[in-house]
């Protein structure tokens, strides 16, 4: 099989692109490390964030939620280099952009495939409902319990290779989903040192698109949409203060991701509906001035029956660094 | 520090330029019908070339023989993934029993051998399907197929459909024309 006829698993790419933004970037209103989206610390004016994901595929849940292993001898992996940049545009407003570059490296008993390309880019804006950092060392009054609440939106642009564009000639070339999506985001975070609790949620809607080709082959034109997407996660962190006031933070998170039924020409398409539950552990080292944060996250999909539906189960190791300007 | 800032902005701009110039097709979708290829089905489609493949139960399956005894042959290309599973589950529940005089053949193009294909077939719960082990990828080449591709060939060797399964509606629509 020639290279262009080998492939990047459609489902694999979908998984990667959905999850990459969840844990790859770490910041908090106080600086330091947590497992949240790309959020500029309260004191920061700009931030760059670079991270590298290594995602290993370990079977999938079928539509009934039963876990099924990948075929013997298969080794499916996706790697992503994520470039992120955040900029404070006003006292309580910030904007950010992220762009992944994706490498697919898949081995089945009968096929070896390696492909790469730009993934789907996303642009976000956030409004901070608070004027001062909310991290405290002691709770002396009710006011000290006030959390940091962020309200935001994210637009995902289909800059990756999808099944519907010119660039992918088979399912193994895919690095993006091919549809625009807008997510409304809510992030609630409270730190009472040494503990930090974070709740994060998003609700996304895709924009319907026209399709007139699949994998470079013309097909009868139709309209496609994907189902609404919901993502929720809860995390608990513990911070150790090191010498010179550097910090080391450990965070455990539980996440649930799902999408509803899509549509083909306005008719329900339940075959794209899915669910995935996962846990993640993050370790973050922050410099005392909170400019530098080095992070490592391991995200593990819960492989038990019923912990997901119609979706791959993957482990993701993320290594990253961010630098805040202020 | 100024260098890092400038580098960051430059990298972002370069990445945005690369992405937006290389993927305009997805950023701006079109509804124009581009079909000119005769292998994708329809009135002008070319006849399917006969093929012989080994099934996972070591049967020799020949297209022309199957078309002598059935109204049509449906090929579904799988790589034993969640999407393939949802397609095949939908096919089993909503199509197979309604169009009984159609031969359904699953094409496994990833397992590399008849034995591996059989293992994948059984472990994924599709022992009752006839699975062709496309170890040399000849079938995927012949129909320009990929994961999820569904091909319908009628008893006149005419390709009625060659596209992704999606929600199965298009396949059912095509099989209805055989009635």
Please state which of the ranges A8-17, A60-69, A149-158, A159-168 shows the lowest mean pLDDT: A8-17
For residues A273 and A259, the answer to whether their CB atoms sit within 8 Å is yes
The CA distance from A194 to the nearest CA of chain B, in Å, is 31
Rounded CA Rg of chain B: 21
Cβ of B109 within 8 Å of Cβ of A110? The answer is: yes
* Dist. CA A212–CA A130, nearest whole Å: 47
pLDDT tens readout for residues B133-172 = 999 999 999 999 999 999 999 999 999 999 999 999 999 9
- Please enumerate in sequence order all residues whose Cβ is within 8 A of that of B158, keeping only pairs 6 or more positions apart, or say none: B45, B47, B48
Nearest Cα to Cα of residue A36 among A300, A325, A320: A320
Cβ of B79 within 8 Å of Cβ of A170? The answer is: no
Cβ of A171 within 8 Å of Cβ of B141? The answer is: no
Contact pairs from chain A to chain B, CB under 8 Å = 206
Cβ of B33 within 8 Å of Cβ of A212? The answer is: yes
Nearest Cα to Cα of residue A275 among A297, A296, A302, A237: A302
* Dist. CA B77–CA B54, nearest whole Å: 15
SS3 call for A145 = helix
Q: What is the average per-residue pLDDT within B94-116? A: 96
The pLDDT value given to residue A17:
45
Name the average pLDDT for chain A. Answer: 88
The pLDDT value given to residue A169:
82
Q: Residue for token digits 């022992």?
A: B127
Residue B75 has pLDDT above 50, yes or no: yes
Cβ of B23 within 8 Å of Cβ of A325? The answer is: no
The pLDDT value given to residue B24:
63
B70 pLDDT band (50/70/90 cuts)?
Answer: very high
Concatenated DSSP letters of chain B = -HHHHHHHHHHHHHHHHHHHHH-HHHHS---------GGG-STTPPBPPP-EEEBTTS-EEEHHHHHHHSSEEEEEEE-SSHHHHHHHHHHHHHTGGGSTTEEEEEEE-SS-SHHHHHHHHHHTT-TTSEEEE-TT-HHHHHTT--TTEEEEEETTSBEEEEEE-TTSHHHHHHHHTT-
The pLDDT value given to residue A8:
31
Please state which of the ranges A24-33, A204-213, A300-309, B74-83 shows the lowest mean pLDDT: A24-33
The CA distance from A245 to the nearest CA of chain B, in Å, is 23
Rounded CA Rg of chain A: 20
pLDDT tens readout for residues A179-236 = 999 999 999 999 999 999 999 999 999 999 999 999 888 888 999 999 999 999 999 9
Contact list, A210 vs chain B (CB under 8 Å):
29-31
Q: What is the average per-residue pLDDT within A243-250? A: 92
Instruction: Tell me which of B74 and B8 has the higher pLDDT.
Output: B74
The CA distance from B177 to the nearest CA of chain A, in Å, is 17
Residue A14 has pLDDT above 50, yes or no: no
For residues A99 and B16, the answer to whether their CB atoms sit within 8 Å is yes
Instruction: Tell me which of B137 and A25 has the higher pLDDT.
Output: B137
The pLDDT value given to residue A3:
31
* Dist. CA A178–CA A210, nearest whole Å: 10
Cβ of A108 within 8 Å of Cβ of B110? The answer is: yes
The pLDDT value given to residue A147:
95
Q: Is B138 exposed, middle or buried (0-12, 13-18, 19+ CB in 10 A)?
A: middle
Report angle CA A9, A83, A15 to the nearest 5 degrees.
25
- Please enumerate in sequence order all residues whose Cβ is within 8 A of that of A100, keeping only pairs 6 or more positions apart, or say none: A17, A20, A53, A80, A81, A82, A83, A118, A119, A120, A121, A160
Cβ of B36 within 8 Å of Cβ of A269? The answer is: no
Instruction: Tell me the whole-structure pTM to 2 decimals.
Output: 0.89
Residues paired with A247 in a beta bridge = A241, A286
How would you classify the pairing of strands B102-108 and B130-133? parallel
Residue of A1, A15, A71, A324 to mutate, interface with B, max B Cβ within 10 Å: A71
A21 pLDDT band (50/70/90 cuts)?
Answer: very low
Q: What is the average per-residue pLDDT within A38-57? A: 92
Q: Residue for token digits 């909503």?
A: B94
The pLDDT value given to residue B19:
53
Starting at the earlier edge strand, list the strands of the sheet with A217-225.
A209-214, A217-225, A262-264, A267-269
For residues A92 and A116, the answer to whether their CB atoms sit within 8 Å is no
Peptide bond connecting A194 to the previous residue in cis, omega within 30 degrees of 0: yes
Q: What is the average per-residue pLDDT within A98-117? A: 91
Q: Token pair for residue B109?
A: 């193009």
Q: At what angle do helices A10-23 and B82-94 cross, to 10 degrees?
A: 130
Cβ of B140 within 8 Å of Cβ of A5? The answer is: yes
The pLDDT value given to residue A172:
83
B132 pLDDT band (50/70/90 cuts)?
Answer: very high
The pLDDT value given to residue A4:
32
Residue of B3, B23, B44, B46 to mutate, interface with A, max A Cβ within 10 Å: B23
């Amino acid at each position: 099989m020639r290279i262009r006829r080998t492939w990047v698993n459609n489902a694999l790419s979908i998984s990667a692109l959905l999850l990459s933004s969840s844990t790859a970037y770490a910041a908090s209103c106080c600086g330091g490390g947590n497992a949240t989206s790309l959020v500029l610390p309260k004191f920061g004016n700009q931030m760059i964030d670079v991270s590298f994901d290594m995602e290993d595929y370990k079977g999938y849940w079928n539509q009934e939620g039963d876990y099924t292993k990948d075929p013997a001898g298969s080794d499916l992996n996706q790697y992503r280099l994520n470039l992120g940049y955040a900029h404070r545009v006003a006292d309580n407003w910030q904007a950010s952009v992220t762009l992944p570059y994706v490498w697919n490296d898949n081995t089945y008993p009968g096929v070896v495939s390696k492909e790469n390309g730009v993934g789907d880019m996303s642009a976000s804006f956030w409004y901070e409902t608070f004027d001062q950092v909310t991290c405290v060392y002691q709770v002396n009054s009710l006011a000290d319990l006030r959390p940091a609440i962020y309200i935001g939106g994210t637009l995902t642009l289909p800059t990756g290779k999808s099944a519907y564009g010119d660039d992918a000639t088979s399912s193994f070339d895919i690095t993006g989903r091919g549809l625009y999506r807008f997510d409304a985001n809510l992030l609630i975070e409270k730190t009472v040192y040494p503990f930090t609790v974070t709740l994060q949620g998003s609700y996304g809607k895709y924009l319907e698109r026209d399709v007139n080709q699949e994998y470079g082959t013309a097909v009868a034109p139709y309209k496609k949409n994907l189902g609404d997407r919901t993502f929720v996660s809860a995390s608990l962190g513990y911070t150790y203060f090191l010498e010179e006031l550097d910090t080391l933070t450990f965070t455990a998170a539980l996440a649930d991701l799902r999408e509803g039924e899509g549509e083909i020409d306005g008719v329900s398409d339940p075959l794209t509906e899915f669910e995935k539950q996962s846990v993640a552990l993050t370790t973050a080292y922050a410099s005392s001035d909170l400019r530098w944060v080095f992070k490592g996250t391991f995200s593990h999909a819960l492989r038990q029956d019923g912990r997901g539906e119609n979706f791959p189960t993957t482990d993701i190791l993320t290594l990253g660094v961010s630098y805040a300007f202020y | 520090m100024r260098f890092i800032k400038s580098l960051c902005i430059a990298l972002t701009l370069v990445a945005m330029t690369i992405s937006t110039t290389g993927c305009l097709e997805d950023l701006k979708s079109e509804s124009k019908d581009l079909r000119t290829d005769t292998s994708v089905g329809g009135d002008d489609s070319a006849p399917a070339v006969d093929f012989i493949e080994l099934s996972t139960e070591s049967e020799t399956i020949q297209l022309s023989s199957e078309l002598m005894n059935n109204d049509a042959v449906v090929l579904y290309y799988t790589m034993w993934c969640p999407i393939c599973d949802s397609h095949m589950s939908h096919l089993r529940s909503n199509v197979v029993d309604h169009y009984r005089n159609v031969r359904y053949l699953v094409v496994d193009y990833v397992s590399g051998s008849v034995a591996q294909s059989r293992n994948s077939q059984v472990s994924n719960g599709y022992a009752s399907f006839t699975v062709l082990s496309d170890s040399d990828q000849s079938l995927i080449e012949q129909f320009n197929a990929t994961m999820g591709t569904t091909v319908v060939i009628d008893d006149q060797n005419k390709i009625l459909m060659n596209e992704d399964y999606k929600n199965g509606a298009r396949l059912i629509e095509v099989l209805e024309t055989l009635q």
